[in-house]
Chains A and B, each alone.
Chain A
Amino acid sequence: MSETNLVSPIVGGAMIGTAATLLLLLTGRIAGISGIVAGLLNAREPDRAWRVAFVAGLFGMGAVLAALWPAGFAIEITRPLWLVLVAGLLVGFGSRLGNGCTSGHGVCGLSRLSPRSLAVTLTFITTGIIAATLTRLAGVGA
C-alpha cells in the first residue's frame, strides 16, 4: 500500500462507521473500544457478555488478517521498549480519565455532534502531534 493511497483509509473508515452503526442500531450500545475493554477488567461490571463478544470479534479478525495479510500490521516499532510501556500506560489511563478514545469520542461522539467529544478529540490530536514531533526531534527510536 503506497502512502498516497487514499481509497483504503476511506473504505476502512466506512467499515469502522458501519460496525459502530450495527452496534448502535441493533444493541443500542456505543462502539468505544477503551470503555468496552475497561469493562472487561472490572469484575463488578454487570454488562460484560457483549463486551467479551465484541473484543473476541476484534481480536479474532486480527488473528485472521495477521495470517492472511501480515503487511497490514507492519509492526516496525522502532521505539525503545520503555517508551512503548509509558505510551501504553498513558493511553490506558488517559482514555479512562477522558471517558473515551479515538473510537468513542473521535467516531461515535463526533457523529452525535457531542461538544464534549469534539473537545476531547481536538485535545488528543493536538497532544498527539506534539508527542510525535518531539519524539522525532529528540531522535528517540528514529
Chain B
Amino acid sequence: MNTSRLATLVVAAIAGALFAAGLVVSGMTQPAKVVGFLDVFGNWDPSLALVMAGAVAVHFVATRWILRRPAPVLEQRFRLPTVSHIDGRLLVGGALFGVGWGLAGYCPGPAVTAAATGNVVTLAFVAAMLAGMALHDGLRARAERGVLFKSRKRS
C-alpha cells in the first residue's frame, strides 16, 4: 500500500470519528429529540434545524474553495455525483426515507454511531436498514441485468 493510499484511509477514519462526535454533540443520536424536531405540530423542538445550518455553513464555504482545486490533496480526482436530473425515483426514495426517519428518529449516520452502544432496538433498526439497502441494490442490479439482456437481444 503506497503512502497516499494509506493517508486516505487515515483521513477517512478521522473524518468518520469527527462526524460521529458531531452527531452526538448535536443531539442527532437521541431519537426522541429527532422525532421532537419533526413533530412540528406537537411539542416542537426546532433546535435540530441548527445542526444542518451549522454543517452547511461550514461545508458550503469550504466547498467553494476546495472545488477550485484541480484535484483533492491525496487523490487524482474528485468523486462527485455526476447525475443532476430530478426524477420520480429520486423523490419516491426521499419520501420513503423521510417516513422511516420520522417513525424511528434515526437516519443512517446516527444509527450506525448509536449501534456502538449495543442497544437492542438500535441494532434492530440498523439490521433492518442494511436489509433495506441490500434489497434495493439487489432489485436494481436485477433490473439492470434485465435491461442489458433485452438490449443485447434487440441488437
Query: Which A residues are within 8 Å of any B CB, using their own CB?
Result: 1, 3-6, 8-31, 33-34, 37-38, 41-42, 49-51, 53-63, 65-66, 69-70, 72-79, 81, 83-99, 101-103, 105-116, 119-121, 123-133, 135-136
Using A6-B47, A63-B116, A102-B109 as known contacts, say yes or no to A132 and B25 having CB atoms under 8 A apart: no
Counting chain A CB atoms within 10 Å of each CB, which of B55, B90, B102, B107 scores highest?
Answer: B55
A33 to B51, CA, bound (A): 16
- Segment 3-28 of B: residues with Cβ below 8 Å from A: 5, 7-28
Instruction: Count residues of B near A (Cβ-Cβ below 8 Å).
Output: 115
Contact of A127 among B63, B95, B137 (CB under 8 A): B95
Chain B residues with CB below 8 A from A101, complex form: 97, 107-109
A69 to B81, CA, bound (A): 36
Using A25-B73, A115-B84 as known contacts, say yes or no to A92 and B78 having CB atoms under 8 A apart: no
Asked whether, in the complex, the Cβ of A17 is within 8 Å of the Cβ of B128, the reply is no
Question: Does B152 sit within 8 A of A, measured CB to CB?
Answer: no
Asked whether, in the complex, the Cβ of B24 is within 8 Å of the Cβ of A72, the reply is yes
A86 to B75, CA, bound (A): 39
Chain B residues with CB below 8 A from A126, complex form: 95, 98
A33 to B13, CA, bound (A): 13
A22 to B119, CA, bound (A): 30
Asked whether, in the complex, the Cβ of A14 is within 8 Å of the Cβ of B57, the reply is yes
Using A88-B129, A131-B98, A133-B39 as known contacts, say yes or no to A14 and B63 having CB atoms under 8 A apart: no
Asked whether, in the complex, the Cβ of B100 is within 8 Å of the Cβ of A22, the reply is no
Chain A residues with CB below 8 A from B24, complex form: 12, 61-62, 65, 69, 72-73
- Segment 32-90 of B: residues with Cβ below 8 Å from A: 32-33, 35-36, 38-42, 45, 47-60, 62-63, 66-67, 71-75, 77-81, 83-86, 89-90
Asked whether, in the complex, the Cβ of A53 is within 8 Å of the Cβ of B10, the reply is yes
A46 to B38, CA, bound (A): 37
